[in-house]
Structure 1
């Protein structure tokens, strides 16, 4: 199978033109998520357990809702799943952490450049590229002491994707409910405009300059040469400025079969999102040539809702359906004998994660 679809900045060109920013994409979180919280409370009352979704992935802390270790999820992978995961190493910042990091990299077969990221966190906060030992030293020092971090292979593939997977405990096979392609927004120099001027001239970035300026502040007065491309973000998160495209039409039986084989090799995992990079979109559709960055649990979203073409009604319908599934799966796992984490444990995990994230450096 060959990929005959042309792309523009990673977006399939065959798709109809979309607005640059959706009406709700950058609403304050408390506004967008309030109806979802109310729906969660309603389901908690119905099932008599507000923390029941944490039982959907019972071997993960809080089911992956918050506060979980990213590496602990990857560590559960069996031989089949592990071959699809980008190699990684874990350490805790502190005394001699650069030397320990280099030793951990060697043991894991990692070489520069690598991705440095917190082991507990979300939304790409603190994710940075380390290109040599000096940048690694500076990167580790930017975190607080005693913070668990991961070093991971920088996957060279050009297409970052989010694959949402759901499998009920009484089902032999799961399904992919969402496939999202993530586009890195770029500015292109014209030889006379500053980065700040380019930012305010671009159809998308001029609408949300506050998303990009903090990372670009040291370069705002630079004048990029004509034709030079300036990527605005590395972490593939919409709240950090990445552009998301709903590509559910590319969910194929081959991709579904591959994802099923991987996720069935992670014990008692039933609900979450795989973040990965693919060599090409054609290869992804065939279920080959991709590497997993991380696997997220019940706190993850079907990220196609952030496609600018998605309506608010469609976004909420997706959120309600997915969170409803966490309760339904959690109820089935409860009948198997698993227990939910409890509301207080959820709160403690969320507070711990929030405290940690407040200390993380700005992401690339």
Structure 2
């Protein structure tokens, strides 16, 4: 890494390691655990999701609790299934290329792929070591994240964060190779090892002028997506849409929805949108990124959300939703981390 890039990482807190960012405020998290007399104080926050949706929950349990008309068509594939049977299942389900594949239990865009043909699917199926999902590719042009919470004793919730996502991409100029475009990209240049792993076989390709090449299809900050704050678009109509989603099963009180839609206006009207993910207690308020926000202000946003999470969890516990025991939570988290380490080896 060049000296210039090194100092850019030092100055820009958004490029810091996750643990480095959160270390100074971790005592607040511990304080909530002490007040709750439960190390895993957040587990009652979303009562019908394992571990409150903090980590390690399956997508199937999440999709099963959301309105089916707002979920992309999805099927579940066992990784050790015979490939011919997989093709038969896809045909019976009416799937056509391209479509999306990802682990049922995954995070940070690990092993998320867009499959264009049978050869790619075969390679993915033979490689992935866990159960995965095949999902209809949603081609709505606008991808957003909406952070929403609702206190269980209230009917109306709060949309605290609303951002637009732009996938990590470069645009060809008819002159430079993909390698050169990546090296000059404001975000991709900090991810050269990842870019080389994924795209080295295309590095010397010169993209025609105007051609867009997606370096990652995952709309995560962890995968280099660009976020634009849409806070000024938050209004009662938007809140009403997510109130209805929250009341659908009366169990999703805190988390972030990742959504594709035809337009912001359509989303506010409750139409033409699909929910790609719901992330529960472990969801980061990602509207702190790409908004020229100081680290101090970002800490204020995070701490506000932690307080909300604590209050929701405490209330649900008093209504009879138990906290997970330390032993149960530790075992669950260890299994989840082991699972993710396995995924990272194959990503």
The answer, yes or no, to whether TM exceeds 0.5 is yes
Q: Deviations over 1:175-216 (max 9, x none)?
A: 211111111232222223221112222344335544533322
- Is the 8 Å Cα contact of residues 163 and 274 (structure 1) preserved in structure 2? yes
Pairs within 5 Å for 1:213-362: 213-360=196-343
Match of 1:45 in 2: 34
Cα distance, 1:172–1:227 mapped onto 2, change above 3 Å = closer
- Is the 8 Å Cα contact of residues 142 and 361 (structure 1) preserved in structure 2? no
Match of 2:3 in 1: none
Match of 1:115 in 2: 100
Query: Quick one: distance in 2 between partners of 1:265 and 1:319?
Result: 27
Match of 2:81 in 1: 95
Pairs within 5 Å for 1:185-196: 185-196=168-179
- Is the 8 Å Cα contact of residues 143 and 359 (structure 1) preserved in structure 2? no
Q: Deviations over 1:82-113 (max 9, x none)?
A: 211112111221031x3443444455553322
- What is the aligned residue count? 340
- Is the 8 Å Cα contact of residues 317 and 323 (structure 2) preserved in structure 1? yes
Gaps (5+ residues) in structure 2? 1-7
Cα distance, 1:167–1:214 mapped onto 2, change above 3 Å = same
Gaps (5+ residues) in structure 1? 1-18
From 120, 124, 129, the counterpart of 2:114: 129
Q: 1:299: Cα distance to partner?
A: 0.8
Query: Quick one: distance in 2 between partners of 1:138 and 1:21?
Result: 39
Aligned residue for 1:295, secondary structure, equals strand
Pairs within 5 Å for 1:32-71: 32-71=21-60
Cα distance, 1:184–1:163 mapped onto 2, change above 3 Å = same
Aligned residue for 1:181, secondary structure, equals strand
Cα distance, 1:328–1:133 mapped onto 2, change above 3 Å = same
Q: 1:363: Cα distance to partner?
A: 9.3
Query: Quick one: distance in 1 between partners of 2:110 and 2:192?
Result: 18
Cα distance, 1:130–1:21 mapped onto 2, change above 3 Å = farther
Aligned alpha-carbon RMSD (Å): 2.3
- Is the 8 Å Cα contact of residues 116 and 127 (structure 1) preserved in structure 2? yes
| TM-score normalized by the length of structure 2 | 0.90
Aligned residue for 2:259, secondary structure, equals strand
Cα distance, 1:261–1:200 mapped onto 2, change above 3 Å = same
- Which structure shows the bigger proportion of residues in helix conformation? 2
Query: Quick one: distance in 1 between partners of 2:344 and 2:209?
Result: 31
- Is the 8 Å Cα contact of residues 128 and 346 (structure 2) preserved in structure 1? no
Query: Quick one: distance in 1 between partners of 2:175 and 2:265?
Result: 39
| TM-score normalized by the length of structure 1 | 0.86
Q: 1:300: Cα distance to partner?
A: 0.8
Query: Quick one: distance in 1 between partners of 2:315 and 2:247?
Result: 17
Cα distance, 1:61–1:200 mapped onto 2, change above 3 Å = same
Aligned residue for 1:359, secondary structure, equals helix
Query: Quick one: distance in 2 between partners of 1:109 and 1:290?
Result: 21
Aligned residue for 1:264, secondary structure, equals helix
